[in-house]
Structure 1
Amino acid sequence: MAGTVPPAQPPPGPRLGPLQGPRPWRRRLNPLRRPTDRFQARIGLGLLLAVLVVAPVAGVVVAELAHRHYADTARHQTLTRHETSATLTEDVPRHPEPGSDEARLARYPAEVRLTTADGRTATTRAEVPPGLSAGSQVRIWVTADGEASEPPLTREQVRSRSMGCALLAAVGTVLTGAAAHAVTCHVVRRRNLAAWERAWAETAPRWTTSG
């Protein structure tokens, strides 16, 4: 109808800025959330952050220490071992699949005779290719005493072993954090059960009706 006065409207409220509106990510208060639940969540978050920080650091530190150790070992082996010729004193068994890739990589223990650095004749057992007959010449690595040994560690072996130690350190850190979290959850769960039993012991008599 013309001339009708519209009903009064409430005054407009203040306009909210982009940072003043509702925030869906804000945690809502849960009346059933216990203090131990908050404690457990904080411990879990703390352990996660600690593992994310400590694991890489532990890996780098252990890799450096392991590299120094294996590099020193390789240098010592280079100084105390050398490659020499030796003579087989017995026949070496043949491989079941001669000519195969496995046969080319296979090694069998056999007795060999060699001359040490000081001129002595010595015998030792070394890993040699299969199928050789007595009297054959082989190249082996020996110590200064004439004992057969492995060749010195190569740079690739030093690097791979150092990286393996670093990986083990990082995985160990993660497993330690997981174990600490599991122990914490177990302790909190036992405390919750004990608190629930005490609360039930106080509440149960009120629910019991006399006959």
Structure 2
Amino acid sequence: MAGEIPPAQPPPGPPPRPLLWRWRRNPLRRRTDTLHAWLGLGALIAVLAVAPVAAVLAGDAARRHYEDTARHQNQTRYETDATLVHDAPRHPEPGSDEERETRYPVEVRVVTREGRTRTTRAEVRPGLTADSTVRIWVTADGEATDRPLNREEVRSRTMGWALLAAIGVALTGAAAHALTGLALRRRNLADWDTAWAKTAPRWTTPT
């Protein structure tokens, strides 16, 4: 149809550009390019400033939590002898490295500090026979449990939470920068459509 304006085509993808091109003066640089550069720098500075603080705060909170947990576990758990009620299953590969690492849950009998005898389930080595004695950790009421956290485990978990906090800040900054870039990209496309609507009529020849 005469005078019909063809639809705007998306601009070509950006060619390879030198590092820090958004900071250099050139006729193709748009205001949004400069804005994106400044926002990226701001996000980087924010991440570098906030990440260490977040790591310290998260690490300190985690350390206090796990130290309290370890202290409570040491007060409420203790190691004692337990007697197997039944034979433990035998491993299909006797003498293998897998057998040495494998543990099977079986019923065991323990005597609590109050002198009560009770049964609980504990993980023991393969092939142990009934009436064998093993050392296990139990709670105050004689329930089998894990040993209390030690200093190395507290330190490891503390560092893990500190690292996760720092990574979380970095990922948040990267996501914010990416969303900003997406918004600016959409604005550029809208400006391109507007400019094309003004320019296309000059190239349209009536038939």
Task: Please classify the TM superposition score into its range, dividing by the shorter chain length.
Answer: 0.7 to 0.9
1:31 aligned partner = 27
CA RMSD of aligned residues (A): 1.3
2:112 aligned partner = 116
3-state SS, counterpart of residue 142 of structure 1: strand
Moved more, 122-131 or 71-80: 122-131
Q: Equivalences for 1:109-188 in 2 at 5 Å? A: 109-188=105-184
Letter in 2 for 1:137: T
TM-score scaled by length of structure 2: 0.85
Cα distance, 1:47 vs structure 2: 0.7
Q: Which runs of 5+ in 1 are unaligned?
A: 1-26
User: Aligned match of 1:88 in 77, 84, 87?
Assistant: 84
Q: Deviations over 1:33-61 (max 9, x none)?
A: 11111110101111111112222222122
TM-score scaled by length of structure 1: 0.83
Task: Flag the structure with more relative contact order, 1 or 2, with Cα contacts below 8 A and sequence separation at least 6.
Answer: 2
2:60 aligned partner = 64
Letter in 1 for 2:53: V
How many Å separate the matches in 2 of 1:28 and 1:182?
22
Query: Are 1:204 and 2:200 an aligned pair?
Result: yes
How many Å separate the matches in 1 of 2:151 and 2:75?
16
| Amino-acid identity (%) | 68
How many Å separate the matches in 1 of 2:201 and 2:104?
81
Larger Rg: 1
How many Å separate the matches in 2 of 1:64 and 1:102?
38
Letter in 2 for 1:94: R
Letter in 2 for 1:108: Y
How many Å separate the matches in 2 of 1:184 and 1:31?
23
How many Å separate the matches in 2 of 1:145 and 1:115?
10
User: Aligned match of 1:40 in 14, 36, 39?
Assistant: 36
Cα distance, 1:32 vs structure 2: 2.0
Q: Which runs of 5+ in 2 are unaligned?
A: 1-22
User: How many residues were matched structurally?
Assistant: 185
3-state SS, counterpart of residue 153 of structure 1: coil
1:98 aligned partner = 94
Cα distance, 1:28 vs structure 2: 4.4
How many Å separate the matches in 1 of 2:66 and 2:43?
32
2:13 aligned partner = none
